[in-house]
Structure 1
Amino acid sequence: MTGHPIAAITGLGFSALSRKPGSSVRRLACDAVRDAAADGGLPLSSIDGLLLNRSPIEPFETLPLSVRRDLGLGDLRLLASIEGEGSSVVQMIQYAALAIQAGMAERVACVFADAPITANVNAGKTFAIALPITGIEDWESEIGFLGAAPAFALVAARYMALYGATPEDFGNWAIAERQWAMLNPRAFLKKPLSMDDYLASRPIARPLRMLDCAYPVNGAVAFIVGKVEVAAAARPPVYIHGMGQGHSGCPAFSDHEPEFDNGAAMAGRIAYAMAGVGPVDVSSAQFYAPFSCAGIVALENYGFCKRGEGAGFVSAGNIAPGGTLPVNTGGGMLSGFYLQGATSICEAVIQTRGEGGQRQVTNDVVLATGLGGRQEHHGALILSPHASLT
């Protein structure tokens, strides 16, 4: 990187995170934005942009643009609801950075909020909706192909068939995330996890087990993105050096492998090139990985190992504490908590600031990613505590 950072993340905020029914999505979002402003030492009145993101399965009214009034914000120079499925949190930060660079705004709050657990419905039922993968109307519903787990089970099964991966390979991903979660006060699952424990967990959609799957919570996370020149002194600035997106256009029936040939590699290439770095320069990676198999595929698509080598890379201990590439150091989505794209980005900010406590790792260059749909939508950020990467 020889140029100037694009923008900086100057505030990080959380609402209460819970596995119990409670506050509305709107209230959670407002709590997180207020916390982010306080974290950055900023008055709410200094925010002149607001970007919102809710779960794509929720209606617009769940988190409407009128949230600005809930927060008591004045006139805004930027206001939008962003929808890019699981890549949306990355996209919010990207669009905020671009707007700031263009002079449209100076400080933009970006917030994701979700409350999948209600008094009458648990998270499993909330997400048990048809995920179209064929383009044939109602086909998935008719055969009971509900939720993301069956779709990602096809990814895992294909990976096993092509590259000889075993259940233990997926288990090693889950165990590594649990090891990191045990070092994170905010993580939800901290009980030590053995391979026997993993193999004994019940099947969800073969070959995926319960411990291969994300752990949803109710909550919100917000980020304040600002001009580099006015980065608040309350917290170390997190400089945004690279950004990229990639959205798969390959048809399901082609020479491509749709389970693996997705937009992640494109997003990574663009972000690496913008920052002037490569995978070899990355200190830690924070992946959107709602299932163990998605994390293994991400390692390959973002250039940390070759196609088919991701399972072996994980099984060799590389992503776990003490490994060569710390990955999902907050416990990830399997043991930390699942708030869609916010999970990976908040841990990236914490690590980049050097505020990881017992789990803190080298933070010169941090990769953070988002993933949406059945791996069709990807976003990537290259973050650093350094204003220059040269």
Structure 2
Amino acid sequence: MEENLLSEGRGAAAIVGVGTTEQGELPGRSGNEIAVEAFRLALEDAGITKHEVDALITCRSYGGFGIDTQIGAMIGLNPRFSATLEYGTCNFSLHLAVMAIAAGMATTVALTYGTNQRTQRRRFSAVADSAGDLEAPYGFVNIAGPAAMAFRRHQFLYGTTEEQLGAIPVAQRRHAMLNPLAIFKEPLSLEDYLASRYVVRPLRRPDICMISDGGACLIVTDRRRVADFRPPPVYILGAAQRTGLRHHRDPDAFLRPWIKGMSQELFGRAGVARADIDLLYVQDPTSVYVLQALEDYAFCSVGESGPFAEDGRIQIGGELPVNTNGGQLSESYMWGWLHLCEATRQLRGECGSRQVAGARVALYCSYMGYRKAAASVLGSEVP
């Protein structure tokens, strides 16, 4: 009798290929062209041809790019299953790929993303949202404003300091200096951080991600097929999502109280304990997200993320290395796609001087602002 992957869940699918394009400024190229290049690089890494891919998942990027029908036509695919998700939904895309495989709707899925958001220089948030918007009229037209308010609230409740927040971009810059793909490689000390200008007080320039061009692609397959691919598989052990229908009169709205308890569900589903996590990746449009993730997933007590980061525990060689690629603060701003690629390469032991010795389990958590959250546990083997 054929194994029922839908009921099995844990490790039903694995990442068997990753592709990352050059990052930074890629003038003269559309987001779709960059996504196709990332797809080609992922095929090379996986050791397959496009004819072995039977599903395609894309994410929209600024400028109208990223639609599955457009990219599928450029690649020359007629997939059994395809979909396009919204901006910044790489974790959600990974979950959709696992569900499609488990349901028997696909065997091997390509998840690809490309953007020219830097060289195109489109004005962000230039068009007002529909009636009922409680953010844009008050200046919340990008993520830095809500993140600054979240940190202010954290300071008020727990005494978190700007020096503690600064430990995050400083640590991630050290990681980026070991990463050939990273854009920002100049040394950044805590003194440099404190001397940098405020953008949205109390957030400084190093606290906020860059805008960059680039692309990334993952190849995900049914676990029964992993032997058909070149690299060692990285299994998707567990996944969880949450949506917070927040109320703006709640003073703690930006602290995401609706995420609490999600980690217990996630780790139970993945068959791991929190202590088993060797690597943490946080989609980080601002450094505040890293502070919040440390508490959201209970790596420290509520209110203790500042001292946790300040003590060096998030650096390579520390207790819980975070964003070993440099994150979106120093590597590149790909809406978290590069975090999944880095986690995969770390678990395959391919990261050279920034390799975390003995890494077997990674957690990647992502956020869509302060409304949605998703997390995935990846492992080099199924527990």
Q: Distance in 2 between matches of 1:378 and 1:138?
A: 20
Superposition RMSD in Å:
2.2
> Following the alignment from structure 2 to structure 1, what is the Cα–Cα distance between the partners of residues 258 and 80?
31
Report 1:325-344 matches (<5 A): 325-344=320-339
Structure 2 counterpart of 1:68, from 66, 72, 92: 72
Name the residue aligned to 2:238.
Answer: 242
What amino acid maps onto 2:35 in structure 1?
A
Give the superposition deviation at 1:112.
1.9
Q: Distance in 1 between matches of 2:124 and 2:96?
A: 28
Specify the alignment match of 1:110 in structure 2.
Answer: 111
Helix, strand or coil for the counterpart of 1:299?
A: helix
Instruction: Give matches, 1:133-172, under 5 Å.
Output: 137=132, 140-172=135-167
Deviation string, structure 1 residues 29-76 (Cα, Å, up to 9, x no partner): 111111111110011011000001023x554x5535231110011x31
Deviations 1:268-304 (A, max 9, x none): 3332111111221101101112111111011000110
**Aligned with 1:252 (options 248, 273, 293):** 248
User: Which residue identity does 1:102 align to in structure 2?
Assistant: A
Task: Give the Cα–Cα distance (whole angstroms) in 2 for the partners of residues 290 and 312 of structure 1.
Answer: 21
Question: Measured at CA, do residues 318 and 370 of structure 1 come closer, stay the same or move farther in structure 2, by a change above 3 Å?
Answer: same
- Distance in 2, Cα, partners of 1:378 & 1:248: 8
Q: Is the 8 A contact 1:131 1:140 kept in 2?
A: no
Conserved? CA contact 1:131–1:145, under 8 Å: no
1:50-69 matches, cutoff 5 A: 50-55=56-61, 58-59=63-64, 63-69=67-73
TM-score by length of 2: 0.91
- Alignment CA distance shift 1:262-1:58 (3 Å): farther
Q: CA separation in 2, counterparts of 1:316 and 1:360?
A: 21
Mapped pair 1:127 → 2:124: yes
Cα shift readout 1:330-352 (whole Å, capped 9, x = no counterpart): 10111111100213211111111
Equivalent position of 2:314 in the other structure: 319
Aligned pair count reads 374
Identity %: 34
Cα displacement (A) at 1:100: 0.9
Distance 1:141-1:382 versus aligned 2 partners, 3 A rule: closer
Where do 5+ consecutive residues of structure 1 fail to align?
A: none
More displaced, 8-17 or 61-70?
A: 61-70
Structure 1 residue 162, shift from structure 2 partner? 1.1
- What is the CA distance between 1:20 and its match in structure 2? 4.8
Q: Is the 8 A contact 2:238 2:267 kept in 1?
A: yes
Against the structure 1 CA distance between its residues 138 and 356, is the aligned structure 2 distance closer, same or farther, given a 3 Å change threshold?
same
1:21 deviates by 3.0
Give the whole-Å Cα distance in 1 for the aligned partners of 2:203 and 2:233: 39
- Name the residue aligned to 2:102: 101
Matched, 1:208 2:203: yes
Judged with a 3 Å threshold, the aligned counterparts in structure 2 of structure 1 residues 281 and 188 are, in CA distance, closer, same or farther, namely same
Q: Which runs of 4 or more aligned residues in structure 1 lie more than 6 Å from their structure 2 counterparts after TM superposition?
A: none
Please, which runs of 5 or more residues in structure 2 have no aligned partner?
Answer: 1-7
SS at match of 2:303: coil
Instruction: Specify whether residues 71 and 227 from structure 1 end up closer, same or farther in structure 2 by C-alpha distance, changes over 3 A only.
Output: same
The 1:216/1:264 distance shift into structure 2, 3 A limit, reads farther
What is the TM-score of this pair, normalised by structure 1? 0.90
The match for 1:365 is 361
Q: 3-state SS of the aligned residue for 1:66?
A: helix
8 Å contact from structure 2 (residues 182, 326) kept in 1: yes
Distance 1:350 1:162, change over 3 A: same
Relative distance call for 1:145 and 1:370 in structure 2 (3 A) is closer
**For 2:127 and 2:70, how far apart are their aligned partners in 1?**
30
**8 Å CA contact 1:131, 1:148 repeated in 2:** no
